[in-house]
A = this chain, B = another copy of it.
Amino acid sequence: MNELKPYVIGIDMGGTNTVFGIVDARGVVLTSDSIKTRKHSNINDYIDELYNGVTRLIDSVDAKDQILGIGIGAPNANYYTGMIEDGVNLPWPTPVPLQQLLEDKFGVPVAITNDANAAAIGEMTYGAARGLKDFIMITLGTGVGSGIVINGQVVYGADGFAGELGHVIVKRHNGRQCGCGRSGCLETYCSATGVARTAREFLEARPNEESLLREIPIDEITSKDVYDAAMNGDKIAKDVFDFTGTILGEALADFTAFSAPQAFILFGGLAKSGDLLLKPLKEAMEKNMLSIWKGKVKVLLSELKEADAAVLGASALGWEAPKR
């Protein structure tokens, strides 16, 4: 932390909203706001609106000239190149030189990375991973993302894209079709959409079994519906969580063989399912763990406040931005 510049800006660019806030060294979000990511078809108009929004926040807390850096989590953002690379659903042509555009506009150091890496850095700086040097962040949202920390450093790999654990194949044959074009990826099973997909499969495979989920049109079932049904004792819904947790636990045991982390940290909507997910997950993880790691790897839940998490995660990168 710099005494003269005690704040950083965290920006989380999502597919729908861009949330931003001013954060201090203790992880307090002093103030935050958001804009629509898709409002402008020209990237410069988007940057202008973002600049105006951030400047208003800075003025509101009298923090002019006190911003050390800006950290951004954005889809397919590459820490090395500062670019949003191809393959994302955003209204601007990719690659987008986001880091450069923002440094030019704001005049302070900027660092960008993808949302899962930002979450990992946020957890290490302010959350459940404080004091951990080796851990793996698993984000369970619409997809499954990951941020890998080894010896206190986020793993970016040779090209900046390391840590795509949601695309490790967990079912080699006849696996579910994935948005990446392959099949059997972890995220087709263990994301929120994967849970809904499992529920539909189970409902169709067990047509004579009653379930609260049958009250919902089958194509509209969400992971939240499955959670609510399971909490109300629904057998099929509980089986969906057993199935999901088991696959994730098996995968975490394999991931352990790679980097021998102290802990996995789960983040995202599904991570809030409590023992419905954690119990089968931990059982499968321990059962499938190589003996040297049995009982030694923790599974922790994110400690970042839901509303602030994205901004906090991104902001944590802001402290590093001047060192890039």
Contact yes or no, B148 A151, CB < 8 A: no
A100 at the B interface (CB under 8 A): no
Complex copy number for this chain: 2
Chain A: residues with Cβ within 8 Å of the partner, total of 44
A170 / chain B contacts, CB cutoff of 8 Å: 172
- A250: Cβ under 8 A from any B Cβ: yes
Q: Mark A153-193, 1 if CB is under 8 A from B, else 0.
A: 10111111111110111111000000011100000000000
Collect the chain B residues with CB atoms within 8 Å of residue A167's CB: 257, 290
> A133-B158, A153-B151, A157-B134 given as contacts; is B165 within 8 A of A250 (CB)?
no
Residue of B nearest to A76 (CB): B292
What are the interface flags for A96-134 relative to B under an 8 Å C-beta threshold, 1 for contact and 0 otherwise?
A: 000000000000000000000000000000000000011
Within 8 A of B (CB), among A240-299: 250, 253-255, 257-262, 288, 290-293, 296
Give the residue of B162, B169, B292 whose beta carbon is less than 8 angstroms from that of A260: B162
| 21 sampled A-B residue pairs with Cβ under 8 A | A87-B292, A134-B157, A134-B158, A148-B258, A151-B155, A155-B259, A157-B259, A157-B261, A158-B262, A159-B293, A162-B259, A163-B257, A164-B257, A164-B260, A165-B257, A165-B258, A170-B172, A182-B290, A255-B258, A258-B258, A258-B259
Chain A interface residues (CB < 8 Å from chain B)? 85, 87, 133-134, 148, 150-151, 153, 155-165, 167-172, 180-182, 250, 253-255, 257-262, 288, 290-293, 296
